[in-house]
């Protein structure tokens, strides 16, 4: 089947593959199950039919890798995958391009605002996933639109520098600069300094967690809330979930090694708290957190260990494992109902967390 895909002109490939994907998801459940195969069960969990069907369709199309040996090729593959899954833009959200000045140059950013939102509403500074190597404003455009509309918040999505062109700590430095920018420009962004949260998925979850930790420890204005979706929080240890779910479930063991090698390089001390925040001795006084994990995810165990450490330190935390989903489900909302259900729940927790933990003025 992958040879058939190669016959499709590259500019038409996302449209054709996307049509096939959405047609498959529109089939009656028995037919979707027949395509996906027998239910997959691991570690006492059963993979959702939507996730299993997506993985099968990816295998049929020949697009199963996140890392591809060269950063530019991996970025092109992610852009193609985004085009396959995403279709119509979510209405009711105003979007504007912005530029964030930093000590290392300017960062592109995108501000999302629900059209019926009042002034001084919460703002989520969002860092996209992609192993600090791939991903951009476009790859997470649908997710940011969805959070803006469903959670009722402004979202400032940040296009931080990527490796290997800019290695660690470039992404961390940009994330810190972006959050400080949001605090300094809160009025211009339609919010207040005490109503600014941080969030991200995977590598972006790492950046949101490290911003929360380092602003707190440095005595700066800290985020009002942190949304950590299947975050990478410890680059120093291989946990059991990485052995269980390291192959065939979107994010592979090899992908994780490749991403870390691109970002951190071989010589970096991977216990550095700007990378492995789980290893911090003291996590007290950090912002309230919503830590989301997926059952079939190599990063599951470190995310859950971080949620436990936060709770033990007295930080208000909601830990939620979607035990039937895979890493990266935040980018799959338009593919299937189960992904949309999970993201709706996350958006609801984000809305509630900001409402409960941010004082009105």
Contacting residues for 132 by C-beta, under 8 A, at least 6 apart = 162, 163, 168, 171, 203, 206, 259, 262, 263
207 contacts 160 by C-beta, under 8 angstroms: yes
Helix (H) or strand (E) holding 292: strand 289-296
Q: Which residues contact 185 (CB under 8 A, 6 or more apart)?
A: none
- 327 is a catalytic site residue: yes
Q: Pick from 350, 311, 310: which is nearest to 330 by CA?
A: 350
Cβ neighbors of 114 (< 8 A, separation 6 or more) are 92, 93, 94, 148, 149, 152, 153, 154
Query: What distance in Å separates the CA atoms of residue 217 and residue 221, rounded to the nearest whole number?
Result: 10
Catalytic residue among 67, 139, 202, 276: 202
Q: How far apart are CA 197 and CA 121, in angstroms?
A: 11
CA distance 149 to 151: 6
What CA–CA distances, in Å, run from 343 to 128, 238, 300, 328, 352? 15, 28, 17, 11, 14
Q: What region does 63 belong to: left with phi over 0, alpha with psi -120 to 50, or beta? A: beta
Nearest CA to 111 out of 188, 204, 180, 222 is that of: 188
Q: Which of 136, 234, 255, 297 is catalytic?
A: 297
Q: How many CB atoms lie within 10 A of CB 356?
A: 11
Contact 119, 63 (CB under 8 A): no
Query: Nearest to residue 234, comparing CAs of 327, 169, 299?
Result: 299
Provide the Cα torsion 329, 335, 338, 344; round to 10°: 70
For the record, the structure tokens of 195 come out as 């109503």
Catalytic residue annotation: 202, 297, 327
């Amino acid at each position: 089947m992958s040879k058939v895909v190669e016959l499709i002109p590259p500019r038409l490939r996302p449209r054709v593959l996307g049509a096939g994907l959405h047609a498959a998801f529109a089939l009656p459940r028995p037919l979707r199950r027949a395509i996906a195969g027998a239910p997959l069960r691991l570690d006492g969990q059963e993979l959702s039919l939507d996730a299993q069907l997506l993985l099968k369709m990816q295998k049929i199309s020949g697009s199963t890798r996140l890392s591809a040996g060269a950063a530019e090729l991996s970025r092109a593959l992610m852009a193609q995958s985004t085009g396959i899954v995403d279709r119509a833009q979510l209405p009711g959200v105003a979007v504007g391009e912005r530029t964030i000045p930093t000590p290392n140059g300017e960062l592109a950013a995108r501000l999302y605002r629900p059209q019926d939102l009042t002034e001084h509403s919460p703002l989520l500074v969002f860092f996209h996933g992609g192993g600090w190597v791939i991903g951009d404003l476009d790859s997470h455009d649908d997710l940011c639109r969805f959070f803006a509309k469903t959670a009722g918040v402004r979202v400032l999505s940040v296009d931080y520098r990527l490796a290997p062109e800019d290695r660690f700590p470039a992404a961390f430095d940009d994330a810190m600069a972006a959050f400080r920018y949001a605090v300094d420009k809160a009025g211009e962004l339609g919010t207040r300094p005490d109503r600014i949260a941080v969030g991200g998925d995977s590598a972006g979850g790492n950046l949101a967690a490290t911003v929360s930790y380092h602003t707190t420890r440095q005595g700066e204005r800290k985020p009002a809330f942190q949304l950590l979706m299947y975050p990478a929080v410890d680059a120093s240890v291989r946990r059991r979930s990485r052995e269980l779910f390291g192959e065939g479930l979107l994010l592979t063991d090899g992908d994780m090694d490749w991403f870390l090698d691109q970002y951190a390089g071989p010589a970096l001390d991977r216990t550095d708290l700007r990378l492995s925040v789980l290893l911090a001795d003291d996590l007290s006084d950090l912002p309230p957190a919503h830590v989301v994990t997926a059952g079939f995810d190599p990063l599951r165990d470190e995310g859950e260990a971080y949620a436990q450490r936060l709770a033990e330190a007295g930080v208000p935390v909601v830990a939620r494992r979607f035990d039937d989903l895979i890493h990266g489900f935040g980018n799959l909302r338009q593919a299937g109902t189960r992904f949309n259900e999970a993201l709706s729940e996350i958006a609801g927790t984000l809305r509630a967390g900001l409402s409960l933990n941010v004082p009105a003025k």
